[in-house]
Amino acid sequence: MTIEKKGERLLIQNRHLSQLDLFVSRVLYTLTKYSPYVIVSGYVAILFGRSRSTEDIDILIPYCDLSLFHTIHDTFIEDGYEFLNAEDASGLYSILASGSAIRLCQKDSFIPNIEIKFIKNESDEYSFTNRIELIIDGKNFWISPLEIQIDLSSGSGVRRILKMPYLSEKCVGTL
């Protein structure tokens, strides 16, 4: 594996993109028009070569007002997506504002789906503030810093570490 670091950006060249990557990329392309985001959890490991798939991709976005969320909602619906939570835009916004997640997927195909949450605590904020721009085949993915993926305070810490052994030592040294 080769990872390049150009300024603040990480580049992975000559990496094939899977259907999952392309799905995520399409959603992010639309989302980026309205809101910044950060990808957290398992999909970050997949981007760096973990041999697994995922049914949901976790994304954090900053708190926004209802009217902006309405615009985001309507754009996704027009583009052929749907929200799994059986609510209208206002209902979905209430779910987000209560700190829970909403799930976005391609119409009539709920696997895979994008789990979207508002930033709601210090660790979310850290992930967002220190997010890293990863470029793969010209497509941008803003990912959380790798150290925040490792939860050493809980029993799952070791499992988290094991999701991340794909970075070259050279690259880890510069992060």
Partner 1 sequence: MKPPDPEFRERNRKERIWFVKKQAEWVRSVPNEVWSEHQCRMINALYAHKDQYPLTKKEYLDMIEKARLLSGRRKGSPPIPKRFRC
- Name the site residues for partner 1 (rule: CB under 8 A): 1-2, 12-21, 46, 49-51, 53, 62-63, 84-85, 95, 97-100, 103, 109-112, 118-121, 124-125, 158-159, 162-163, 165-166, 168
Question: Smallest distance, Å, CB 37 to partner 1?
Answer: 15
Q: Which is nearer to partner 1, 73 or 115 (CB)?
A: 115
Q: Which is nearer to partner 1, 23 or 142 (CB)?
A: 23
Question: Smallest distance, Å, CB 76 to partner 1?
Answer: 17
Quick one: which of 89, 76, 90, 94 has its CA closest to 35?
A: 76
The Cα 27–Cα 112 span in angstroms is 12
The Cα 132–Cα 148 span in angstroms is 12
Give burial (CB, 10 Å; 0-12/13-18/19+) of 82.
Answer: middle
Question: Smallest distance, Å, CB 62 to partner 1?
Answer: 8
